[in-house]
């Protein structure tokens, strides 16, 4: 949804030759959730390097922080039957600026 709303050009590239590969994911749980609990997920950008983006997720039930997670993705291009690292697309890098974890 973030890409659709903030960097639609990246979606176009994903339909061609761009691949975003999860290289690391984790989640730390602070409290349990129950069936039908409404959860608010807030995403912010952590570290953005030449070819990787780390996203941080906060999971809330009302005002209570229930869990915190992290996902790192590497940007890759499909070339000749293989994938090679490529820089984070400019449109994605720019879309992440307001969400940088400061």
Is there a domain that residue 72 lies in? yes
Give pTM, 2 decimals.
0.85
Instruction: Give the max Cα distance, the chain.
Output: 49
Question: Distance (Å, rounded) from C-alpha 12 to C-alpha 32?
Answer: 38
Render pLDDT for 37-81 as a digit per residue (tens, 0 to 9): 999 999 999 999 999 999 999 999 999 999 999 999 999 999 998
Residue 102 pLDDT: 65
Is there a domain that residue 102 lies in? no
Is there a domain that residue 46 lies in? yes
83, pLDDT greater than 90: yes
Question: Distance (Å, rounded) from C-alpha 91 to C-alpha 8?
Answer: 8
End-to-end CA distance of the chain: 23
Domains: count for the chain = 1
Residue 65 is encoded by which pair of tokens?
Answer: 């922080």
Is there a domain that residue 62 lies in? yes
Residue 101 pLDDT: 74
Q: Say which residue, 36 or 102, is predicted with more confidence.
A: 36
Render pLDDT for 1-12 as a digit per residue (tens, 0 to 9): 899 999 999 999
CATH number at residue 25: 3.10.129.10
Q: Which domain holds residue 35?
A: 2-97
Is there a domain that residue 61 lies in? yes
């Amino acid at each position: 949804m973030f890409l659709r709303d903030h960097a639609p050009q990246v979606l176009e590239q994903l339909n061609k030759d761009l691949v975003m590969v999860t290289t690391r994911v984790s989640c730390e749980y602070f409290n349990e959730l129950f069936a039908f609990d409404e959860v608010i997920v807030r995403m912010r950008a952590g570290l953005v390097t030449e070819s990787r983006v780390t996203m941080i997720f906060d999971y809330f039930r009302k005002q209570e922080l229930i869990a915190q997670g992290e996902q790192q993705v590497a940007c890759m291009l499909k070339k000749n039957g293989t994938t090679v690292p490529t820089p984070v697309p400019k449109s994605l890098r720019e879309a992440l600026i307001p969400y940088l974890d400061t």
